Structure 1
Amino acid sequence: MAHIMITGGSSGIGLQIARLLVQRGERVSLLARDPAKLEAAKHALQSQYPDSRPVHIQAVDVTDGAALHAAVMDCVASQGAIDTLIASAGMIVPGSFLDQTAGDFNSQIDTNLIGVANAIRAVYPSMIAAGRGTITIISSGAALLGIPGYTAYCASKYGLRGLATALRLEAKPKGVSVCICFPPDTDTPQFRQEIAQRGPETKRFLGPPKPWPVETVAKHIVKGMDAGKGEIFFGFDMMMLDKLGPIIRPILEKAYERRNKKHIGAQEGR
């Protein structure tokens, strides 16, 4: 069975993917910042699947490259060489560019983009040495369009697509495959916290939230990974946004501008 390491594995999409992998007997290591959440995740997985292989956990912040490398070495010592990395660690702090502090902006870039690069850097050399391996990056539908109130988040997720596309070309001749996923709004604890912080501009752009069940998203990701896909999209709308983005994005932006003008007019007419 493969050894699969998941960053951001203590909750949300990462944990649900872990659940599917543990269920089918893979060796799984979970990395996340909060030791208590990791312990809870491990207990939940091993209670649900008592006959599965032991789940290894390691508390670490993906923005700390040296600490992350040490954590990876600990996972290798426990579970063997890493066959697959699933880079799922991420964060979001909604807010317009003007209103958001530099700290909040930079922390999203550091976690969502630099943290993924750190995770890849920690496993990639050993994959090259073995002549095989898979790197799966969890990006977001926010990598397919700009969203007002999500400047830092969009920047980080757009960046992941560039990273994955370039790295795929470098890695394939070395036997390593690179996959990137673009999940829609997904019903996770982070999403429920995020939705309460969305500003009015974001709500006017996106409309009422319609999150996908986390179980559905995780199954789709695992299915795409098993099929060897380089990019994983969710639903017809997301696929069309990818294929016809230069046509669709201006239409969405014009519609948003009209809604904004209507809102401003209503405010002024009070």
Structure 2
Amino acid sequence: MTHVLVVGGTSGMGLGLARCYAASGAKVTVIGRDAGRLPEVAQREGIRAMQADVTEAAMIQTRVREAGQDGLDLLIYSAGFYATEAEVRADPKKGERIDQTNVDGVGHVVEAALPLMRHGGRIALIASIAGLLRPDPWTTRYATSKRRAMSRFASYREKAAAHNVGLTLLVPGYVDTQELRRLNGGQRPDKPFLQQEAHAVAVMKKALDRQQARCVFPWQLHALVRLYNLLPAPLRALRQ
């Protein structure tokens, strides 16, 4: 039986992917920070749910080893933390939380999971198209964290290959998740090329099934980001 572990899988796209794999007959485990969400996931979805915070290395690595004691075929890192620049300035701890969750957590989880991966297994990171933006003095802490997360994830490619494990980088654009609506005052956000969550999950599942190394979507937003990165600094600064 295929064993899938989703870290950050009690809500949003992580939970969506967990549901997909559970529906296909896989043995699925999710790890989430919010203990309050675990019973609902376990009871309603029939998915094994465990509590851990990715910012606490010893805790998350213990949970990953517990979840993967019989081997893992697929690990998906979906954990993430977002705060606006205004929130980071008002509370620097939120900036630290961004880095600890979006960057350091990737290292904690991948290091623990690699020895548990079965021959031909795969590790995936759900990043953000914000991480593809060219670094500038005005780049947000969140975008910087996502760029660093992608770099850290890529640094494991050689080590993963030695375990005969593939890596897949999933880079979605704006997705109409519950969290994005919360950040937008409960309303549907007005974002370019906004995607429905179910569509984003389907695109990522297809990329994983095909064992793609990288999947950036939607292509329209990816094209805009590439164009933006080619602009001279004075024009890029207008985006602030």
TM-score tier, shorter chain, comes to 0.7 to 0.9
Give me the whole-angstrom Cα distance separating, in 2, the residues matched to 1:137 and 1:126: 17
Aligned counterparts, 1:44-59, within 5 A: 44-46=44-46, 55-59=47-51
Counterpart of 1:29 in structure 2: which amino acid?
T
Q: CA distance change for structure 1 residues 3 and 96 in 2, over 3 Å: closer, same or farther? A: same
The 5 A counterparts of 1:141-156 are: 141-145=129-133, 151-156=140-145
Counterpart Cα distance in 2 of 1:56 and 1:228:
25
Q: Structure 1 residues 99, 16: closer, same or farther in 2, change over 3 A?
A: same
Determine the structure 1 residue equivalent to 2:209: 226
Tell me the CA shift for residue 173 of structure 1.
3.7
Distance 2:183 2:232 in 1: 22
1:167 to 146, 156, 162: 156
* Matches of 1:170 and 1:241, distance apart in 2: 33
Find the structure with the greater CA-based Rg. 1
TM-score (norm 2): 0.87
Pick one of 123, 126, 135 that aligns with 1:138.
Answer: 126
Task: Judging by fraction of residues, say which structure has more strand.
Answer: 2
1:135/1:178 contact within 8 Å kept: yes
Matched positions, count: 236
CA deviations on 1:155-179 (whole Å, 9 max, x unpaired) are 1100121122221233224301111
* Residues 161 and 251 of structure 1: CA distance in aligned 2, closer, same or farther (over 3 Å): same
**What is residue 16 of structure 1 aligned with on the other side?**
16
For residue 231 of structure 2, the aligned residue among 226, 245, 251 is 251
Unaligned runs of at least 5 residues, structure 2:
none
Within-5 A mapping of 1:164-203: 164-196=153-185
Residues 65 and 116, structure 2, Cα contact 8 Å, conserved in 1:
no
1:20 alignment partner AA:
C
What runs of 5+ residues in structure 1 fail to find an aligned partner?
47-54, 198-206, 261-270
Aligned partners of 2:129 and 2:173 also within 8 Å: yes
Structure 1 residue aligned with 2:95: 105
Secondary structure at the counterpart of residue 68 of structure 2: helix
Alignment partner for residue 67 of structure 2, among 69, 75, 79? 75
CA contact (8 A) 1:144 1:241 kept: no
How far apart are residue 56 of structure 1 and its match? Answer: 1.1
% of aligned pairs identical? 24
Alignment of 1:65 onto 2:57: yes
TM-score of the aligned structures, taking structure 1 as reference length: 0.78
On the 8 A contact 1:29/1:57 being kept in 2, the answer is yes
Q: Post-superposition, which runs of at least 4 consecutive aligned residues in structure 1 deviate over 6 A?
A: 147-150
Equivalent residues of 1:105, 1:152 under 8 A apart:
yes
